[in-house]
Amino acid sequence: MVVGTHYSEEVHVLDKYESLAFDMYFGESPLCVLDIETTGLTPDTSHFVLGSLMALGDSGEACLKQYFAEDLSEEKQLLAEYACEASKYDVLLTYNGRHFDIPFLLSRADKLELDIFAMPYNFDLYRVLDSYSSLRKLLPNLKQKTVEDFMGLWPYRADKITGRESAMLYQKYLYLKDIYEDPAGCMELMLLHNRDDVLQLGKLLPVLRKTDLHRAMHNLGLPAAGCGRSLATEKIRLEKNCLNVSGRQIKNPMDFFSYGQGDDNCTIRFEKKRSAFEISIPLLKKSGLAVIDLLKLPCEVCSDIAEFPGYDNGYLVIKINNDVKYKEVNHFLTVFLRKILQSSGAV
């Protein structure tokens, strides 16, 4: 159920984060912020009881929905509705969601025998800050509230409780219900905590200016969407003579194969059964350069790549000696993957 309070119905206006680097990856797939509350950290013995989804619109409008279990018996229905709504988006913005939120939801779905096998691409801001910024050296920790304070956002947070206190509030909520007392106060505090977490996370995107976003995306995965399908890279490897890419098909997986005509042609393999894909692109090596011959690819990408400094007459330089050009590699792969999805046709 969607909570029938003003929290689930509000439309907030946030300052839209504008960045050429950020738009390169997410300009065509607006983000939806996700955050959940549970009764504990272990999905085998804990429950999903509250979740928020906040879609960030192009104009800065943010539509927030909250899902709350008034009783533990509602968890299965709640999770089914929440996951269904989340699956409508191509990109989810989380804070430590790759380690906690998404695995927890999938584990609970499996335990409750719900047919949920995948979630949209997860842009985990915590992972980016942890490995691709210097903030860990500057701050006492990388908790979301600590980063909010660093970015001057603390005055905008009305909630002051922790996730652990939120879990304890739910137990109090259930206890008050059992003895026929009004538990509304506990519910309101939980909703406020969860609401502020997603609102503040939506405002935290400017912290990306303090990160190496291109290197982060190269290592954490690139999203691509088109023609009713979406996917994400998981491994990008520049090997001796090839650029090898593998990942998972997230929405509407397909079978698609392209093997070219010779040893120096690109090979593409999309497998519906495994919801996986693999791509191998030959590289030209000369004088310390690693170069892609774009004219030998099965789809035209030059018009989308031509503005990059490493592009010249159908060739793209992606590595100079030991210096990987993360921006060029990422942009090329983002364009190439979208073209593959488009060439496969609509679902």
CA separation for the pair 261, 195 (Å, rounded): 54
3-state SS class at 257: strand
9 has a pLDDT exceeding 80: no
Query: In the numeric block, which tokens belong to residue 148?
Result: 């909010």
Q: Taking Cα atoms as reference points, which of 67, 64, 32 lies closest to residue 48?
A: 67
pLDDT of residue 68: 94
CA separation for the pair 210, 233 (Å, rounded): 24
Mean pLDDT of 146-175: 92
CA separation for the pair 203, 17 (Å, rounded): 8
DSSP letter (8 states) at residue 312? E
Q: Where are the beta strands (DSSP E) in the chain?
A: 11-13, 32-38, 48-56, 61-68, 91-94, 121-124, 223-226, 229-238, 242-251, 256-258, 267-271, 276-282, 284-286, 289-293, 311-312, 315-320, 323-324
pLDDT of residue 345: 61
Per residue in 97-117, pLDDT tens?
999 999 999 999 999 999 877
Q: How far apart are the first and last CA of the chain?
A: 30
Q: What is the mean pLDDT of the chain?
A: 91
CA separation for the pair 339, 333 (Å, rounded): 10
Asked whether the whole model's pTM tops 0.75, one would answer yes
pLDDT of residue 262: 58
pLDDT of residue 5: 34
Highest mean pLDDT (candidates 19-33, 50-64, 138-152, 259-273)? 138-152
Place of tokens 């010779």: 262
CA separation for the pair 19, 10 (Å, rounded): 27
3-state SS class at 82: helix
Rg of the chain in Å (alpha carbons): 22
Per residue in 198-236, pLDDT tens?
999 999 999 999 999 999 999 999 999 988 899 999 999
20 has a pLDDT exceeding 70: yes
Per residue in 170-201, pLDDT tens?
999 999 988 988 898 999 999 999 999 999 99
Under a CB-based contact definition with an 8 Å cutoff, are residues 198 and 34 in contact? yes
Per residue in 248-286, pLDDT tens?
999 999 999 988 665 568 999 999 999 999 999 999 998
Q: What is the DSSP string of 266-301?
A: -EEEEETTTTEEEEEEE-EEETTEEEEEGGGSSS--
Per residue in 289-305, pLDDT tens?
999 999 999 999 999 99
